[in-house]
Structure 1
Amino acid sequence: MIMYDTIIKGGRVATASDVFTCDIAIRDGKIVALGTDLGEARDVIDAGGRWVLPGGIDSHVHISQPSGEGIVMADDFESATRSAAMGGNTTILPFCLQESGQSLRTAIENYHAKAEGQCYTDVSFHMIISDPSPQVLGQELPALVRDGYTSFKIFMTYDGLALGDLDILRVMAVAKDTRALVMIHAENYDIIRYLTEQFETEGKTAPKYHASSRPKIAEREATYRAISLAELSDVPLMVVHVSNRETMEEIRRARQRGLRIYGETCPQYLVLTENDLDGL
C-alpha cells in the first residue's frame, strides 16, 4: 500500500480540460496523484466536495519597509502573512530595500531577521536597488542572484530611490549577465516635481492634487523610456503597478515587436479614479 504525507478526499478539482471530484495525494509538498482509493496517508482531510485550489503567490508586497520621513509600511511580517493566508496566498514576495550606502547582503539579512519566526506563509524577496555602486553591481548583486534572489526593482522617481538612465543601464547589464528580472517603477520624476512645485505654490495641497501631479503622460513617457533601455540591453522588464491605458498600450506595442516586456496592475487602479480623491 502506497503511503502519502497527506490525502485530501472528495475535493472538487479543475484541470485544463475538465472539472471533477477526486482525492488528491501529496508527498514532500507536491501533488503526486489524483484519483480514488489512492492508499494511506499520515493526514487525511475531508474536503466534502469543496473546491481545492492551489495557493496563490502574491509577488508584489511591501512589509516593514521604510517609506521616507520616518514612515514605515503598516504591515509587519506577522500581520501581512496572516492576511495573505486568509486570502488564499501561500507565498509572498515582499521588497527588500537597500538604503543609501548599505550593502545588499546587509539589507537582505535585516529583512530575514524581521521575518524570522513571524510568517504563516512562504516568503522570499525582491531586491530594491537604490545605490548601484561598483561594489554592488560587480560583486554583491551577482552573488545574491546566485543565492536565488533573481529579481530586483529599480525606481525612476522618489528622492533617495530614483536612478538615472545611466545607472538603469548598468543595472540591466548585470541582469543580462545573471539572467535576472528587472522590475521598474516608471514615472517621469521631473514632471512630478515640476507639477508638485506649481501646485504647492498655488496652495493646491488637497489629496486630489496628488493625482494631478502625476498625470498619465508621466507614466507613459517613463515606461517608453524604460522599454527602450531594456531593448538596448536585451533584457526582460516588468513594469509594476500600471495605472492607465496609455501605459498599457506602450507595453502592448513593445510585446508586438517581440520584446520581453511585462506589466502588472493593482486593484486600486481597476476600481478607483482620481475623482475618488475629490472631497477628501
Structure 2
Amino acid sequence: MTHYDLILRNADIATVGDRYTADIGVRGGRIVAIAQALEGEASETLDAAGRLVTPGGVDGHVHLDQPTSDGSKFADDFFTGTRSAACGGTTTVLPFALQFKGHSLQEAVDDYHRRAEGKAVIDYAFHLIVSDPTKDVTQRELPALIEQGYTSIKVYMTYDDLKLGDRQIIEVLAAARKHGAMTMIHAENSDCIAWLTEQLLEAGLTAPRYHSSSRPMAVEREATHRAIALAELLDTPILIVHVSGREAIEQIHWARGRGLPVFAETCPQYLFLSAEDLGIDPDHPMKGAGCICSPPPRDKANQQFVWNGLSSGLFTIVSSDHAPFSMGGEGGKLAGGEEASFDRIPNGVPGIETRLPLLMSEGVLAGRIDIHRFVELTSTHPARLYGLYPRKGTIAVGSDADLVVWDVFEPGQARTLTNTMLHHAVDYTPYEGMQLRAWPAITLSRGRTVWANGVFDAAPGSGEFLPCLRPQVPRNASPIGKWL
C-alpha cells in the first residue's frame, strides 16, 4: 500500500486556473499525488473539512535584518520575520542582499547568508541590491552571481546611499539583459525629492504628513517613465516596485500598449492606507510616523486606481515591502526624538504577516478580485518572475507542499486586527483596527505544519535557501540593434 508522510483531505483547492475538491498526498516535502479520494496510509493526516486551500504565499519584496548606514535598525531578523510570514500564510520570502558603496556584491551575499543561517523557518531566496555598479561588479560579479542563482537585481533612483544615475542604471540593465536577470527599480526622482524636502523644512513644515508633500505623484510618474525609457533602450524587462499612484499606473499602461515587457508590483499600503494616515493626531502628533514609506500612501480616491490595476491585470504581483522599523527603541521610527522631522524618520511599514489576510478579506471576499487572481498575484506570479516556479507558487504533483488552509468568517464574525495578534518583532501595525474576514488556519511549508489553529511550531533554521532560475521572459536578439 502506498505510504505518504502526510495526506491533506477534503481540500477546496484553488490555483491560478482551477478550483476543485481533492486530497493531497505529500512525501519528502513534495506533493506526490492529488486525487478525489486518495488511497493509502500516512504518518499524518489533516482534514481541511472543505475549507479553501491555496498555494503558500511567495512574498517577493521583504527586508529582514538588512544593514543600514543611517542608524536605523530593522526589528525583524530572519527568525522573527519568517515566523511572522508563516503565521500569515507565506511560505517563501525574498529579502535583499545590500551592497554598500565601495564594497563588493559578494561581500553582501556572504553577509546575508550569515544573517539567515540557523534562523529562517520557511524557504528563502535573495535579491541583489546594486549601489556601486563598477566595471568589476557589472562584468564579473553580477554574471557569476546570476549563474549561482541570484537572478534578480534591485536598483534605486533615490536615497543618497543607494541611488544610481541613468548611465549606471543602463550599465546594470545591460548586464541583466546579457545574463538573463530581472531588474527591479525603485522609481522616484531623487533631485525633486531633495529640493521639495529642503523647501518644506525651511518653511518649518516638518511633521510626518509632509513626507507625502515631499514625494508627490509627479516624482514617481517622472521616474517611472524614465525607467521605462531606459529599459526600452536596452530592450530588457524590468519590474517597477511598490507602485503607489494612478500617474505611475498610467505610465505602465502606456508601456504595455507599446508592447514593452514592463512588470509592476504594488503593496497593501497603497490599498489600505492613505495620505490622511500621515496626518496630525492632536493627541499623538507623531503617530503618522508609523505610516511613512516611500512612495507614500496617496489620497483615498487613489486606492480605487490600485484596485483597478489588480483586477485588470496591470499589476504582476502584490508584495508586502515589509520594512519592520518599530516606533520606539534603538533605531526605530522615533529614535530621532518626538520632534524629529519627517526626513529623519525611517521609511517603511511592517506587513509580512498581514499581506495575504488583507487581500483575501478586502479583495476576494469583498468581490474586487477572484480567488484565481489572488493566487496569481500573491504566489504564482512572484514564483514565476523570480525563477522559483513550479517548485513554488502552485499546487501540483512535483511542487513543494507549501499549502494554506483558510478560515473564512461571516461578516458579523470578522476579527479585529491588532498588533498583539501578530508574530513579528515590531511594536505596531499600520492596519490596527481593520476587520478581517479570513486568516490562515494551517500553513504547511514543504509538508511541515508551521502554523495551525493559533500555534506556531517550527524550528529556527528549518527553512532552506533556494537558488533561483533565470526568469522566463522574452528578449530580442540584440539589445541595441534596433537603434543602429
TM-score (norm 2): 0.56
Q: Over residues 188-240 of structure 1, what are the superposed CA-to-partner deviations in whole Å (9 max), with x where a residue is unaligned?
A: 00100111111111111111111101011000000000000000011100001
- CA gap of 1:226–1:38, structure 2 versus 1, over 3 A, is same
Give the number of aligned pairs.
279
Match of 1:86 in 2: 87
AA aligned opposite 1:26: V
**C-alpha distance after superposition, 1:3-37 (max 9, x if no partner):** 333221222223534432x2111234332322213
Shift of 1:72: 2.0
In structure 2, how many angstroms separate the alpha carbons of the residues matched to 1:37 and 1:183?
A: 42
SS at match of 1:5: strand
Q: Is the 8 A contact 1:26 1:33 kept in 2?
A: yes
Equivalent residue number for residue 272 of structure 1 = 273
Q: Secondary structure, in 3 states, of the residue corresponding to 1:24?
A: strand
2:218 corresponds to 1:226: no
Matched residue, 1:5:
5
Give distance in 1, aligned partners of 2:91 and 2:54. Answer: 11
Once the 2 structures are TM-superposed, how far is the Cα of residue 120 of structure 1 from its aligned partner?
1.1
- 1:46 correspondence with 2:64: no
Aligned to 2:173: 172
Match of 2:236 in 1: 235
SS in 2 for 1:167: helix
Task: Describe the SS at the equivalent of 2:52.
Answer: coil
Q: Which residue of 2 aligns with 1:76?
A: 77
CA distance in 1, matches of 2:18, 2:107: 47
Q: How does 1:1-280 map to 2 (within 5 A)?
A: 1-14=1-14, 16-20=17-21, 22-35=22-35, 36-279=37-280, 280=285
Which of 210-219 and 44-53 deviates more?
44-53
Partner deviation per Cα, 1:240-275 (whole Å, 9 max, x = no partner): 111100101101110111100011111111122222
Kept after mapping to 2: 8 A contact 1:154/1:163: yes
Partners of 2:212 and 2:38 in 1: how far apart?
Answer: 58
- Distance of 2:194 and 2:114 partners within structure 1: 36
Mapped to 2, the partners of 1:59 and 1:101 lie a distance apart of 27
Q: CA 1:30–1:256 in 2, change beyond 3 Å: closer, same or farther? A: farther
Task: Judge conservation of contact 1:25–1:33 (CA < 8 Å) in 2.
Answer: yes
What amino acid maps onto 2:33 in structure 1? A
Aligned-pair CA distance for 1:138 = 1.0
Partners of 2:11 and 2:38 lie apart in 1 by 13
Moved more, 239-248 or 30-39: 30-39
The TM-score with structure 1 as length reference comes to 0.95
The answer as to whether partners of 1:25 and 1:38 remain within 8 angstroms in 2 is no
User: 1:112 deviation in Å?
Assistant: 0.8
More strand by share: 1
Higher RCO (CA-CA < 8 Å; seq separation 6+) = 2
- Output the CA distance in 2 between the equivalents of 1:226 and 1:28: 43
For 1:84 and 1:53, the matched residues in 2 are separated by: 15
Deviation of the 1:56 alpha carbon: 0.4
Deviation, structure 1 residue 146: 0.2
Look up the SS of the partner of 1:61 in the other structure.
Answer: coil
Could you tell me how far 1:105 is from its partner in structure 2?
A: 1.0
Cα shift readout 1:107-132 (whole Å, capped 9, x = no counterpart)? 11111111111111101111000011
CA contact (8 A) 1:23 1:38 kept: no
Q: Secondary structure at the match of 2:43?
A: strand
- In 2, Cα distance between equivalents of 1:222 and 1:10: 49
Measured on the aligned residues, the alpha-carbon RMSD in Å equals 1.4
CA–CA separation in structure 2 for the residues paired with 1:242 and 1:66: 24
Contact 1:2 1:40 in 2 (8 A): yes
CA distance in 2, matches of 1:14, 1:61: 25
Secondary structure of 2:112's match?
A: helix
CA distance in 1, matches of 2:214, 2:69: 19
AA in 2 matched with 1:221:
E
The amino acid of 1:143's aligned partner reads A
Q: Which residue of 1 aligns with 2:353?
A: none
Distance in 1 (CA, whole Å) between partners of 2:274 and 2:235 is 35
Q: Residue 65 of structure 1: CA displacement?
A: 1.3
Gaps of 5+ in 2: 286-484
Indicate conservation of the 8 Å contact 2:25/2:38, yes or no. Answer: no
Unaligned runs of 5+ in 1: none
Larger displacement relative to structure 2 (118-127 or 48-57): 48-57
Structure-2 change in CA distance of 1:179 and 1:4 (3 Å): same
